[in-house]
Chain A
């Protein structure tokens, strides 16, 4: 089954404790992306990757890191999480062309206390 898998689905943690949200896709997609969803703001892009070892900032990259060492994986790293990073996070992937629909993971609810 074609899918984007995120883990964990829920996480409650404390300020400053490094965390990683994993994302993996099995569709051989070139393009992967991370979004955060906040009430009243819709989804905003954090980082994206066009292919292995190619990543770039989205609209709200501050406080986040990513890596793309393998085509299927695109982890999101919060080196020193803060309460303003409490949000619902989505990983997505698509083929390289812009007209291709994005496939989303099921989301990760992060709460930073």
Chain B
């Protein structure tokens, strides 16, 4: 079974600074996908970024980027120029590349952006 570990339960950073959230996972699969979801206080689950395991290039979405290290099974999220609206719970998630597979989530990192 796959496991996803987020070792930082809480983090805080000053507005405009850069912050990196850690995520590691354990799998014997070679073909899979990784996601970061954001859950603001409104509790909606919002997709932040997606990474295909077969792609070496790290995914980026505006101020959000990942550092995907397949051999190390690491998938960290970097938020640049952090904004107050980035305050949220962030979940890392893994899915095998097979139709009926489920998302396996980490336990989350609560990020607070300090004005």
Contacts and interface: CB of A to CB of B under 8 A. Distances in A.
Interface of A: 31, 33, 35, 40-45, 48, 50, 56, 58-59, 88, 90, 92, 96-99, 101-102, 104, 106-107
Contacts of A99: 33, 50, 52, 95, 97
Given A40-B107, A98-B33, A45 B50 contact: no
5 contacts: A48-B100, A88-B43, A90-B45, A98-B95, A107-B43
B99 A104 contact: no
A56 B100 CA distance: 10
A106 B47 contact: no
Contacts of A101: 35, 47, 50
B110 to A, nearest CB: 10
A106 B43 contact: yes
B68 interface: no
Contacts, number: 58
Interface in B19-74: 33, 35, 42-45, 47, 50, 52
Interface string B1-23: 00010000100000000000000
Nearest to A102: B103
Interface in B59-115: 91, 95-103, 105-108
Given A98-B101, A107-B44, A107-B45, 5 more contacts: A31-B99, A98-B96, A99-B50, A99-B97, A102-B103
A41 B107 contact: yes
A106 B44 contact: yes
